[in-house]
Each structure stands twice: as C-alpha cells, then as structure tokens.
Amino acid sequence: MSFTIMQKLSLGCLKAEQPLLTTIRNASKKTGGSTRNKKGHPRPKHRGWRVQDGHWVSQGTLLATQLTPRFHPGLNVGFGRNGTLFAMDHGKVYVTCEPLDPNWDHTWVQRHYAGREGQPIHKKFFNVVPEKQHQRFRLVDEV
C-alpha cells in the first residue's frame, strides 16, 4: 500500500528525508575594547636614584625614592615617611658605602637583618656637602 505525500501529512507520520536546519544568529560586530588602563596594571613608580654622585642640588631636591630602605641618609639629607631621601641644604651630592650600625632592638631592623648579627653590613649613604661660604660677613662687634 503506497501513500502519497498528502496522505502522509494527514496521517501525521511524515518523516523528513533531509535533516532539519537550525538557524544560528551571530553578532555582526565584535565588542569594542576599552582604551583605559585596566585594573592590575598600575602606573610604575619609578623608584631609585634621582641624582647621581657629584651633581649639585638645591634644598628640597629628591635624591632617591625607595620602598624599603636601600639607601640611607647622611650629612644634610632628610629621610621621608615613605623612605624618600631629600636634600636639606644646597650643595654637592656624594654617595658613599659605609658600614651600618643598626639598632638591633628595633623591630624593623630585626625583620630585615635577621641572622646578620655580628657581621658587617655596608649600605649606600647619600651626603650633601654644602659649598664653602664666601666669608664676606662681619660680626656686628667688628663694624
């Protein structure tokens, strides 16, 4: 017994001879990326030496920036709260390597120099040596 297509449709037993096609819709344009700085990529801090040995600096000039004390203040050099070294007077910069005599009772010294008690510790010291004065001043008593 052979059925025609119309008879198969009326019986509801029509089976497709070809697989059914499904339509998938994709985006026509890709999403645009942001040009801003992403999180996790902070701007660099550029820590380190600011002034080289032998340069002349004025008062308040930054000599070095650091996260942990790598450089230490010497003559006429100030030590900021964030570890920044700055000149406290006009003069010429001298960087020297000197032995360090830390306060071993201090917690910061114990944390950073643990196990080095009794050993000589040498660190770089920034010094600002002022120019010689012109010696043109006179005391009021001499005038």
Specify the pairing of strand 91-100 against strand 62-65. Answer: unpaired
Q: Is 9 helix (H, G, I), strand (E, B) or coil?
A: helix
Q: Where are the domains of the chain?
A: 48-130
Phi and psi based region of residue 118 (left: phi greater than 0; alpha: psi -120 to 50; beta: remaining): left
Pick 1 or 62 by higher pLDDT.
62
**For 107-121, what is each residue's pLDDT tens digit?**
877 888 888 888 888
Pick 65 or 69 by higher pLDDT.
65
In angstroms, the CA 90 to CA 55 distance is: 11
**Which of the following CATH numbers is that of domain 48-130: 3.90.226.10, 2.40.50.100, 3.40.50.10490, 3.40.50.2300?**
2.40.50.100
115 CB-near residues (< 8 Å, 6+ apart): none
Q: Where are the beta strands (DSSP E) in the chain?
A: 48-49, 56-57, 62-65, 71-73, 77-79, 85-87, 91-100, 121-129
Phi and psi based region of residue 83 (left: phi greater than 0; alpha: psi -120 to 50; beta: remaining): left
Confidence class for position 88, pLDDT limits 50, 70, 90: very high
pLDDT of amino acid 6? 59
